[in-house]
Amino acid sequence: MTILDGRALSKKIKADVKKDVEILQKENVTPGLAVVLVGADSASATYVNMKSKACKEAGIYSIVHEMPESISQDNILEIIEMMNKNPNIDGILVQLPLPKHIDTTAMLEAIDPKKDVDGFHPYNVGRVVAGLDGYIPATPYGVMKLLEEYKIDPKGKNVCVVGASDIVGKPMAALMLNANATVDICHIYTDDLKAHTLNADIICVGVGKVNLITADMVKDNAVIIDIGVSRLESGKLVGDVDFDNVKEKCSYITPSPGGVGPMTIAMLLKNTVKSAQNRGK
Ligand code: GUN
């Protein structure tokens, strides 16, 4: 069994991003990322802090627009519009989830698709599904990079994606299909999850449910990608996979934390630099 080391690969990608930033700076372009954070969700605040810190380390300018839970939709739209027009901002990211009274789709659709470094605007969703160049959502993009690094080719493989969210599961399935895998997408209404996972050469799970994937659900020598992160009462972070038992059966496995999470941040930086490279075009 080999550990898919997302921490190590994310360091390499961040170093490449930093070099690209230095090249841009010679042309007087400093990539800029604007983050919109609404409300006081502590997990969201932690993620946003991690993104800001990573930007700083890579030489990317970042600004966080923090807004109270009670903010109106129009006020958020005004900020997004301002960032759309700001020539020094290359990427705009609205941290999800948003409070219930806010129409998430309306916020995502307000972002200029050229600055949509999260890849959540329907324009980029469509381009990615069609296999065209566009912004690929950072988490599934990071998974594909991790597989590539370890020379794991999904072509012709049975892939089971567990979790069908717009930001992880659906784009993950699209990328796997575009990589010529045969893809099962499972979700909370799936009747017999085990039947699907047992048939899979590669399992990508991102649900947020501790021990959802146990050793009896995994085929010998499968590749296990754990995208889930949950905090136990003890404070310890764990993924969706029963790591200690599943690791004995599989060929490759990502730890969680330390697998997909660091890759997500690295790919967000990569998308931001890509946008800066296209600035003004
Ligand atoms: N919430 C959870 N993951 C993400 C992400 O990748 N981007 C944004 N904007 N919000 C999230």
CATH number, domain with residue 62? 3.40.50.10860
Instruction: Please tell me if the CB atom of residue 254 comes closer than 6 angstroms to any atom of ligand 1.
Output: no
Annotated catalytic residues are: 51, 95, 118
- 115 close to 92: Cβ distance less than 8 angstroms: yes
Q: Is 196 part of any domain? A: yes
Residue 104 and residue 146 in one domain: no
Residue 128, pLDDT score: 98
180 shares its domain with 106? no
Same-domain pairing of 172 and 227: yes
CA-nearest of 214, 215, 219, 181 to 199 is: 219
Q: What is the mean pLDDT of the segment spanning 159-184?
A: 98
For a mutational test of ligand 1's pocket, the pick from 167, 207, 230, 260, i.e. the residue with the most ligand atoms closer than 8 A to its C-beta, is: 167
Q: Are residues 34 and 95 in the same domain?
A: yes
Test site for ligand 1: of 62, 76, 96, 270, most ligand atoms within 8 A of the Cβ: 96
Q: Is 50 in the pocket of ligand 1 (CB under 6 A)?
A: no
Indicate whether 73 pLDDT > 90: yes
In terms of Cα–Cα distance, which of 212, 204, 167, 201 is closest to 185?
A: 204
Is position 120 within any domain? no
- Cα of 221 vs centre of ligand 1, distance in Å, is 31
Q: How far is the C-alpha of 260 from the C-alpha of 139, rounded, in Å?
A: 7
Sequence-separated (6 or more) residues with CB below 8 Å from residue 13? 145, 263, 266, 267, 269, 270
Is there a domain that residue 131 lies in? no
Q: How far does the centroid of ligand 1 lie from the alpha carbon of residue 264, in Å?
A: 9
Residues 172 and 226 both lie in one domain: yes
**What is the per-residue pLDDT for 280?**
83
Query: Cβ(94) to ligand 1 under 6 A?
Result: yes
Entry field: residues in the chain: 281
pLDDT in tens, 59-68: 999 999 999 9
For residue 163, the domain's CATH number is 3.40.50.720
Locate the DSSP E strands across 101-166.
158-162
Atom of ligand 1 nearest to the CA of 139: 6
User: Do residues 84 and 148 share a domain?
Assistant: no
pLDDT in tens, 90-131: 999 999 999 999 999 999 999 999 999 999 999 999 999 999
Q: Is the pTM of this model over 0.95?
A: yes
Residue at a domain's end among 114, 129, 160: 114
What domain range is 92 assigned to? 28-114
Indicate whether 252 and 166 sit together in one domain.
yes
CA of 205 to the centre of ligand 1 (A): 16
Closest atom of ligand 1 to 268 CA is 6
pLDDT at 272: 99
18: in domain: no
Distance 96 CA to ligand 1 centre (A): 5
Average pLDDT over residues 210-228: 98
Whether residue 5 is contained in a domain is answered as no
Per-residue confidence (pLDDT) for residue 281, from 0 to 100: 82
Is 92 in contact with 272 (CB distance < 8 Å)? Answer: no
Confidence class of residue 77 from pLDDT cuts 50, 70 and 90?
A: very high
Mean pLDDT of all residues belonging to the chain? 98
Q: What's the structural domain count of the chain?
A: 2
Q: What is the DSSP string of 180-243?
A: T-EEEEE-TT-S-HHHHHHT-SEEEE-S--TT-B-GGGS-TT-EEEE---EE-TTS-EE-SB-H
Whether 3 is covered by a domain: the verdict is no
Determine, yes or no, domain membership for 61: yes
The verdict on the CB of residue 96 being under 6 Å from ligand 1 is yes
Q: Report whether residue 168 contacts ligand 1, using a CB cutoff of 6 Å.
A: no
36 touches ligand 1 (CB under 6 Å): no
Tell how far the Cα of 219 is from the centroid of ligand 1, in angstroms: 31
pLDDT band of 5, cuts 50, 70, 90: very high
| pLDDT band at 260; cut points 50, 70, 90 | very high
